[in-house]
Structure 1
Amino acid sequence: MDLNLIRVFVAVHETRSITLAATRLYVTPPAVSQSLAKLRGALDDRLFERVGRRMHPTPVADELYPEFRDALLRIERAVDGLGGFDPGASERSVRIALSELGEIGWLPGILRAVRARAPRMSLEVVPLDPAELPDWLSRGVVDLAVTPAELPAGFESTLIKTQGYGVAMSAQNPLAEGELTLERYVAAAHVKVAGDSGIGHLEAALRHAGAQLVPRVVASRVAALPAALAADPELIATVPDTIAEGWAATWPLAIRPLPFDMRPLAVRLYRRRTAQHPAALDWLFDTVARAIRGSSGQFEVIHGRA
């Protein structure tokens, strides 16, 4: 079978779109449609059915995809290996999914590391959406993602760090003194950040402890927390402890340990599963991993100095 037909099949399966597959392969949409017609004849199956604007794979296509993708990945990596990947000459565009805290703390280090070797490479950061992330990585919507979310085992990843949580509050909050019991913690006025990538782990730990939180305030950005906590001596927030300790260096905040067991979060760097440009992805994955591991983060930019 023509290798280009397999490339088309994999691209359509991952993008769910003839137009997007054509863009990825640098061909026209009619050329993709013609290749699909050849594949359908060769494999005696429709392979994809149009539903609205998306191309949905048939059961046969879903069965073939992992085998075709893995074979194509091995071929692409072997071909890339002949000439090697030169980051200095690369003009590729790459996308990384980061949480708000990840963007604040790690993006400067990532940019330094990538631009030092690949100054012509374009980098786009997209807001992390844990619910969409498996689909994004499967279809190549993003190249990399940093998250504590536990994704299916089929996604290749590397451990970046482990992160504990603590309770942040104004130094004037009554809970800053004395024993912080589970009962006092649950009864307090909590601030929750919508979209906190670790919220699922926190809620699971609370359920295990037989407790449930009803937040008084829901904020959209983590960066708003230190000022909000410092201004209101009743509010508390459950946040990554090392970051909260950094805030306490410049804000009048107190940090208390959690009054229940919660295992540290495993923050991992994930890479897309798609087969295009594997040598470039290998280099980017290793470079970003080293940049994050070698940095304590720049979370101190959210400070209380005038």
Structure 2
Amino acid sequence: MRIRTEIVKEVVDSSCADLTRVFVAIYESGSLTAAGRRLFVTQSAISQSLARLRRELGDPLFERTAQGMRPTALAEAIYPELHEGLSVIDRTLAAVTGFDPSTSERTFRIALSELGEIGWSPAIGEAMAAAAPRARLAVSALRREDLEELLTRGSVDLAITPMELPGAFERQTVKREGYRVVMSAQNPLAETEMTLEVYRGARRVWVEGDSSASVLAGVHARQGVSDPPAISVQHVASLPPLLARSTTLIATIPETLAVGWSRSWPLVIRDLPFALGPVELHLYRRRSPQHTGALDWFFATVSAAVSGFPGGFEGIHIAS
């Protein structure tokens, strides 16, 4: 569909700037109620603004479905330009008015895996306490199935994950992590060369919710490691005691985690018997253009904290 640039320009540049915010909020949240909460106005006000937009653009823009407000073809087409236009406006205003973290009382939200929460929350919390002592940090569980939606709707500000999100999210690679094999020092395999054949025949334990599980599963499939794991667990913290007390189990985990655990548990580390390049962890930021000054600051603060901190994974140590 060819979009008339003059229509987009009219909406952004005229007195309809507030209507543009309503459009973007509905598009990203998928709900009139959620859009109202985001913009601090009533649902009735959102409905009135949407009605005016529909009249001016000659298109329904959104259709009500069981899943929420579904954008029309025109709405899909003009959203990128309207979103970018609001981002430019908000950044310009932020440059004039400024964002002062020392006085901010905002709640900043980041989605982290269990490992990310254990490894990086201390560094992120310290960085925020130093620069924004009155601000609050809320950590949400990282769920692969709805992460793109959460970032699109602005339910979370940032997320750290090895996932490749299909949307046009701004991101920065903050860490590259290798993987190693870990087992009890009492496991007979600790005295054996870890060949591919040995690895395939070993009893493996698997963390179901690990954000890198899909990456490792793909490598296993290519290497012919087709048998399901002997044990699947939900939490990374359950691995050290499970491995330490077993004479048969092995686990494939991030190298920094393996090194940290080996300092507190009777575990040994072995190289993988197949090639697995470092897994890249990306810091993503939400797409919503609201409060870009605060978001820019949070993104830079988390990036610096995570990039300069190896991860406090040795903190996972229950007395053995």
TM-score normalised to structure 2 length: 0.93
> What residue number does 1:203 align with?
217
> What residue number does 1:89 align with?
103
- Is this contact kept in 2: 1:77–1:278, CA < 8 A? yes
The superposition leaves residues 64-97 of structure 1 with CA deviations (integer Å, 9 ceiling, x where unpaired) of 1111000011011101110111011112122100
Corresponding letter in the other structure for 2:120: W
> What residue number does 1:49 align with?
63
- For residues 153 and 17 of structure 1, the distance between their equivalents in structure 2, rounded to whole angstroms, comes to 20
Following superposition of structure 1 onto structure 2, how do residues 81-230 of structure 1 map, counting pairs within 5 Å? 81-152=95-166, 154-230=168-244
- Is this contact kept in 1: 2:148–2:167, CA < 8 A? no
- For residues 120 and 36 of structure 1, the distance between their equivalents in structure 2, rounded to whole angstroms, comes to 36
Corresponding letter in the other structure for 1:219: V
May I ask how many residue pairs the two structures share in their alignment? Answer: 306
- Is this contact kept in 2: 1:17–1:53, CA < 8 A? no
Stretches of structure 2 lacking an aligned partner (at least 5 in a row): 1-10
- For residues 224 and 119 of structure 2, the distance between their equivalents in structure 1, rounded to whole angstroms, comes to 33
Stretches of structure 1 lacking an aligned partner (at least 5 in a row): none
2:296 is the counterpart of 1:282: yes
Q: Any idea what SS the aligned residue of 2:41 has? A: coil
Between stretches 183-192 and 3-12, larger displacement belongs to 183-192
- For residues 49 and 315 of structure 2, the distance between their equivalents in structure 1, rounded to whole angstroms, comes to 52
- For residues 159 and 260 of structure 1, the distance between their equivalents in structure 2, rounded to whole angstroms, comes to 24
Partner residue of 1:28 out of 35, 42, 58: 42
- Is this contact kept in 2: 1:146–1:267, CA < 8 A? yes
- For residues 148 and 213 of structure 1, the distance between their equivalents in structure 2, rounded to whole angstroms, comes to 24
> What residue number does 1:13 align with?
27
> What residue number does 1:73 align with?
87
Q: Any idea what SS the aligned residue of 2:102 has? A: helix
- Is this contact kept in 1: 2:256–2:313, CA < 8 A? no
Partner residue of 1:260 out of 263, 271, 274: 274
Between stretches 6-15 and 126-135, larger displacement belongs to 126-135
Between stretches 82-91 and 9-18, larger displacement belongs to 82-91
- For residues 42 and 213 of structure 1, the distance between their equivalents in structure 2, rounded to whole angstroms, comes to 59
TM-score normalised to structure 1 length: 0.97
How many Å apart are 1:211 and its aligned residue? Answer: 2.8
- Is this contact kept in 2: 1:22–1:32, CA < 8 A? yes
The superposition leaves residues 122-165 of structure 1 with CA deviations (integer Å, 9 ceiling, x where unpaired) of 22111111222122111211100011112236211111110011
Two-structure CA RMSD over aligned residues (Å): 1.3
The superposition leaves residues 78-124 of structure 1 with CA deviations (integer Å, 9 ceiling, x where unpaired) of 01110111011112122100000100010011011012111221221
How many Å apart are 1:207 and its aligned residue? Answer: 2.3
Give every structure 1 segment of 4 or more consecutive aligned residues whose post-TM-superposition deviation is greater than 4 Å. none
Q: Any idea what SS the aligned residue of 2:256 has? A: helix
> What residue number does 1:234 align with?
248
The superposition leaves residues 16-72 of structure 1 with CA deviations (integer Å, 9 ceiling, x where unpaired) of 011111111111110000000000111111111111261111111111111100001
2:93 is the counterpart of 1:59: no
Between stretches 129-138 and 81-90, larger displacement belongs to 129-138
How many Å apart are 1:305 and its aligned residue? Answer: 4.2
Q: Any idea what SS the aligned residue of 2:118 has? A: helix
- Is this contact kept in 2: 1:203–1:212, CA < 8 A? no
Share of identical aligned residues, percent? 50
